Amino acid sequence: MLPVLLAPLLMLVEVFMDLLQPKLMANIVNDGVMKGDLAYIRSTGLLMLVVAVIGLIGGIGCSIYSTIASQHFGTDLRKDVFAKVQSFSFRNLDRFKAGSLVTRLTNDIVQMQNLVQMTLRILVRAPFLAIGSCIMAFMLSPRLAIILVVAVPVLFVAQYYLIRASFPLFSKVQNRLDGVNTVLQENLSGIRVVKAFVRSAYENSRFGKANADFTDIAVKASRIVAVNMPIMMFIMNASIVAVLWFGADLNWSGRLAVGDLIAFINYVTQLLSSLLMVGMMMVSVSRAKASGDRIREVLETEPEIVEAAGAKTNVIRSGRIEFDRVSFGYEASRGSELTDISFTAEPGQTVAILGSTGSGKSTLVSLVSRLYDVSSGAIRIDGVDIRAMQLEHLRKQVGMVLQEAVLFSGTIRDNIRYGKPEAAQEEIEEAARAAQADEFISRMPDGYDSIIGQRGVNLSGGQKQRVSIARALLVRPSILILDDSTSAVDLGTESRIQRALKELMGASTTLVIAQRISSVIDADKIVVMEEGRIVAIGKHDELMRDCDVYQDIYESQLGKEQIRHGGIA
């Protein structure tokens, strides 16, 4: 708060000193030069030097404190926007592209940060300098000041039309920058796919188009801004010529001293320069407003997943899950992804969810921890609707290993203890052993202190999945969700992981999504899904006897021969 107060106060000091300088100069010319009084010239010149130093101190102080204030503003705003994004549901995040959020958290906030700095400096300096110069000019010569009465409105009209033309373009500039960032982010995150399919040329073309679109609109906006300076300089120079033209006549007639004419020209220059600064500032304001609107859109977006008043905590004990006629759709226009889903998963049970691609398996399990909210029906854990629970309590009791193994830059230890930062080394190693990750971690040069690159680029797909499983096991959740989390490991490793899970997480409720039917054949219950609906529930033998969809999946993976023999050999 202190820098915000000090910056404008120090700028007022500089403005006041700048307004004194032309008057002191006029005194030197009128009372020193014209009268040949060298002593007066020395004393007044010394005073001008002191005034200049005081103005310099004020200007430097304003710059320092305005920079401090703007940097802290940017820091706080960035923190608030990031915290808001963290509160978004998956549906909220689906509406904002990742590239757009990156732009809003970086470029847009920088625009607002620059605006604050300019406001504390230019928007304090320019108006007060303009008003003060105008007053001083009228005091020196009301007749010459009529020139300002003509020039200033012309200047304002020109500024108005330039700002009006540039503002819509700056909104488009930021939107096009979103496009550049989106393409860049997609390319960098999928660079291995690009290389594997030799699509660098295509990606260059795609980025080139987004970059060209951004450049075109940026040049168009800059072209309008570039017109501003020549127009303003023309008006200012024309005004000075007019002052010299009419001022000379007043001087020759003895109605205006030479020193006063010089001071008047200085005040006119200060006045028009300050208005020029305001004009340039308004262009920046229009750009910052476009950025501010985009930031406000994020801050004003209400998270769709919110806690109910008086949300319950410490209600999940055993982890019994009940889906009660649950339906869900990402968007109303797309219809339902899930329809009338009903089943239960008892504590200690392993419930497998099987189905073809796009049948809604991953969507189903994402509802358990309220990554999305159900459209109708209810999900209850231990008899309590999850919408009545505190989100932190719910999500701490639900361990998830997602389809894509997401790791963060840092050590393997930090990634495993991500959900439990205070975990001891013994706990970390136990979770890693259960996930069959301890063996390859121990072979690494630095063991658990080995650094994982961005998104785990220095680990194989199977290694990343095992670290992700260890991360979920470490928190000992009441409910464990494995979303096709062993697809990149071999059958032997998968079998050892399953045995370890039964030993370590035997009392927990486990939901397993798997593509390989061999991974779920021993599950306590298998839920077969097709097109967002449950078509059958049962054990393997029951489904082999009664469910055509399950038989088709089994046949496609293990062949007709094994069906005739009644199962896996």
Residue range 293-327, pLDDT digits in tens: 889 989 988 888 888 888 898 899 889 999 999 99
Distance from C-alpha of 479 to C-alpha of 501, rounded to nearest angstrom: 12
Decide: 268 and 239 in contact? Cβ < 8 Å: yes
Q: Do domains 2-300 and 399-476 have the same CATH topology?
A: no
Q: What is the dihedral sign for C-alpha 486, 490, 491, 496?
A: negative
Token pair for 521: 């054949």
Mean residue pLDDT of the chain comes to 84
488 near 460, Cβ under 8 Å? yes
3-state secondary structure labels for all residues of 366-407: HCCCCCCCCCEEEEEECCEEHHHECHHHHHHCEEEECCCCCC
Residue 34 has pLDDT above 50, yes or no: yes
Q: What is this structure's pTM?
A: 0.72
pLDDT above 70: residue 74: yes
DSSP letter at 332 equals G
Residues in CB range of 477: below 8 A, 6 or more apart = 319, 396, 397, 398, 399, 508
pLDDT (average), residues 56-61: 92
Name which CATH class applies to 2-300. mainly alpha
Is residue 560 scored above 50 in pLDDT?
A: no
pLDDT at 87: 85
Domain boundaries in the chain? 2-300, 399-476
CA atoms within 13 A on the CB side of 564: 3
CATH number of 399-476: 3.40.50.300
The predicted structure's pLDDT at residue 335? 54
Model confidence band, residue 120 (pLDDT cutoffs 50, 70, 90): confident
Calpha distance 364→14 (Å, rounded): 65
